Amino acid sequence: MSENDCIFCKIVAGEAESEVVHDEEGVMAFMDIGAKAPVHVLVIPKEHVSSLQEVGRLPDGVAKRIFEVAQEVAENMGIAESGYAFRINNGPDARQEVFHLHAHVMGGRKMGMP
């Protein structure tokens, strides 16, 4: 399932450019275009779900893989040891801007709570 006018679905489909750092059957990771940390990667399910409200719609294993890919990307980018923030902005009060579920992996500096 993909959704018209969803920028992350376009990235998955190869219709919009991104700097991809991981690509597998159900999950993709790419550099955040507006990096807020020295390392800032987004990990997404390829299937469109808008937020955690719809996480149950993801195929089996995909949610788990999002966590595992985050750790793999962190290892590959050299921030697994120093640590990183793994964060999902979910809904309006969290200031979610892109309504295709995504996890931020941010590191390379001290990451505080907002």
Minimum distance, C-beta of residue 8 to Zn ion, in the bound complex (Å) = 5
Catalytic site includes residue 48: no
C-alpha–C-alpha distance, residues 112 and 64, integer Å: 25
The Cα-based distances of 101 to 13, 46, 82, 96 in angstroms read 16, 9, 26, 9
* Strand (E) or helix (H) holding 30: strand 27-31
CA 45 to chain centre: 8
The yes or no reply on residue 20 touching ligand 5GP (CB under 6 A) is: no
Q: Candidates 53-61, 69-77, 78-86, 88-96 — which segment interacts with ligand 5GP by CB under 6 A?
A: 88-96
The partner in contact with residue 9, picked from ligand 5GP, Zn ion, none with C-beta cut-offs of 5 to 8 angstroms by kind, is Zn ion
> Which one among 2, 50, 71, 96 touches ligand 5GP, defined by CB under 6 A?
96
The smaller minimum CB distance to ligand 5GP, of residues 60 and 93, is found at 93
Please tell me whether residue 7 binds ligand 5GP under the rule CB under 6 A: yes
- Positive or negative CA dihedral for 27, 32, 36, 40? positive
Cβ–Cβ under 8 Å, residues 81 and 42? no
Active site residues: 102
Q: What residue ranges bind ligand 5GP (CB under 6 A)?
A: 7, 18, 30-34, 42, 89, 95-98
